[in-house]
Amino acid sequence: MTTTTTNLGAGSEDRVMATAQQILKSLNTPKEVREDMLLIFSSFDNRLSNITDLINENSDSAGVRFDAAEKVILQWDSSSSSSNADASRHSLPWEDSPDEAAEYLSAVDEILHLVADMSIRSDNKIMDRAETAIQMAMSRLEDEFRLVLIRNTVPLDSERLYGSIRRVSLSFAANDGEIGEEFESFAEVDGERGCFHERGPSFGDDLCVDLINPDAVMELKEIADRMINAGYEKECVQAYSNVRRDALDECLVILGVEKLSIEEVQKIEWKALDEKMKKWIQAVKITVRVLLNGEKRLCDQIFNGSNSIKEICFNETAKGCVMQLLNFGEAVAIGKRSSEKLFRILDMYDVLVDALLEFEMMFTDEYMCTEAKGVLAGLGDAAKGTFLEFENAVKNEASKKPMQNGEIHPLTRYVMNYVKLLVDYSETLNSLLENDEDEADELKSEDGELETMTPFAKRLLLLISSLESNLEEKSKLYEDGALHCIFLMNNNLYIVQKVKDSELRKLLGDNWVRKRRGSIRQYATSYLRTCWTKALHCLKDEGIGGSSNNASKVALKERFKSFNACFEDIYRIQTGWKVPDPQLREELRISISEKVIPAYRSFMGRFGSQLESGRHAGKYIKYTPEDLENYLLDLFEGSPLVLHHMRRKST
């Protein structure tokens, strides 16, 4: 057999050597096996006879590179050389000397590359050194990662975040002993002493804050990449989560949210609890809109390239502060119910509804979303239960002390201002009350418009009907039938005005308003009949004994005396009665005047001349029609006037 040598042309030897070099790099076999394979290669062609030198050169080069990288790592390890000045430093000079930090990261990269490239795997001794160096480097980088996170955490500026707070007047009747405990915690409705219900801060859509100094994010990413490449992702995640979890806890402290057990929350007095609930509402908004969004963005930047690590980091970091917020919500949900808490509970419910939508997008940990749903359901039950208990309290409020001057009852003020504020929560209450309409069914017989009403509107109608029934019972406490009517007029007008001048009108409808105005007119008619019938009877012709020319003077004197006494008695009593609404007060005075003054003027015109010519005429005809009209202007002012005031006025 003849051996044929193929001429590959110029440069062919270089290409062969390059190919051999690639083969060497890919060999993943023990040193002895590799040497045997190389002898086989070299027998194929004399041009491969230098391959052994190539292997030796490659091995020597890897060793030199490893030694240099190892030296850089060791000089920053405090346990490796107590005499080394650099080793005594606690941290790499990331800010002061970025070149040294870059050199350290390059050394880590070099060792990881050499190990991954199999260039030093044939030497067990070097591999042991490499593993030791990697452990040292990862320990150092973990410390650096933690320190950079801590040093570059940006403190939360709560003042900037709170934004504008919309304040809504929450004014209810003061308790002066007229109403029960359920209604005694709020300030005077129309006085200067008012308390407010704050719906919480509102934020702009573009609100964004840095939780970490932006300049440090790239440094953190550089460190995280090395730790993950080295298989130390668990340590990296733990370091990140620990630092950021503490930072978020500190943010809650700044926002005024304390760590409290359920038992501690339930022992807090209402005034202090109200403040904590208000801060909680603000904190949830800030936590979701700012902190968690910022934390999510930070995880995406630092752990870019590994979705699983990003998710784990965010879940572990955010879990603590979210659970602290949810625990407070749960404590409120299972706490003692009272009418004053309803608005705050509804605020908490609404803010958690929005937060839950964000949670479902942010968290891959289903546990967090499940917990949030549970607390949300609890707050919903608490809100619904509190509202239904308030209905029962209104229906059963049984104070027995009548308002002395027939004015608006504190219960009326309380309830109407309460429901006026509830309109802001119509959408929420409609969803909560949707399946609880059994009690509202009893109203169907009196109003055919119920079919088109929302669940909340039906409950309001039932609530106001209960209030009206209660007021009707309270009006029976008055022995004076006229004051009974004044009381009902005042209270029903107050109810109508609160409905007419607010969003309640849209819920209850114009027909409801018209019906109540009709009731007020009926009370006014009853008042006139009850109060002025006796006085008007004195001005009748019957029983005087003859025509206007020959009527009995004795009978006339008695009629005028009776009328005067009756009018003066009404004046004395009813100047102390109170009709707060100026329009109703004026309408009542006009109605009285239209009935009394013409009758008095007619009676005087027919019979007054028979007494005016006699002695002591002024004893019987004490007032002119104009005098009576002036006196009527004093009625219903709520300031009792003594009788001599009438005498002064007439003179």
Extract the tokens encoding 501.
């001048």
CA distance 274 to 287: 20
What does the mean pLDDT of the chain come to?
80
Helix ranges (DSSP H) in 476-509: 481-500, 504-508
pLDDT tens column, 193-209: 334 455 554 544 456 77
CA distance 512 to 312: 58
User: Tell me, what's the pLDDT at 346?
Assistant: 96
Q: List the one residue out of 437, 431, 433, 435 whose CA is nearest residue 450.
A: 437
pLDDT tens column, 573-606: 999 999 999 999 999 999 999 999 999 999 988 8
User: Tell me, what's the pLDDT at 119?
Assistant: 54
- Other beta carbons within 10 Å of 580: 15
What percentage of the chain's residues is helix, strand, coil (to nearest 5)?
Answer: 70, 5, 25
User: Tell me, what's the pLDDT at 402?
Assistant: 85
User: Tell me, what's the pLDDT at 101?
Assistant: 80
First to last CA, the chain: 160
Residues of the chain under the 50 pLDDT cut: 1-12, 24, 26-33, 47, 49-58, 81-88, 164-178, 185-196, 201, 203-205, 445, 644, 648-651
pTM (2 d.p.): 0.78
User: Tell me, what's the pLDDT at 18?
Assistant: 52
Identify the sign of the CA torsion 541, 546, 550, 555. Answer: negative
CB 171, CB 190: distance < 8 Å = yes
CA distance 171 to 319: 39
Helix ranges (DSSP H) in 363-480: 366-396, 410-422, 426-433, 455-475
Pairing relation of β-strands 195-202 and 164-170?
Answer: antiparallel
Beta partners for 201? Answer: 165
Extract the tokens encoding 213.
């100094």
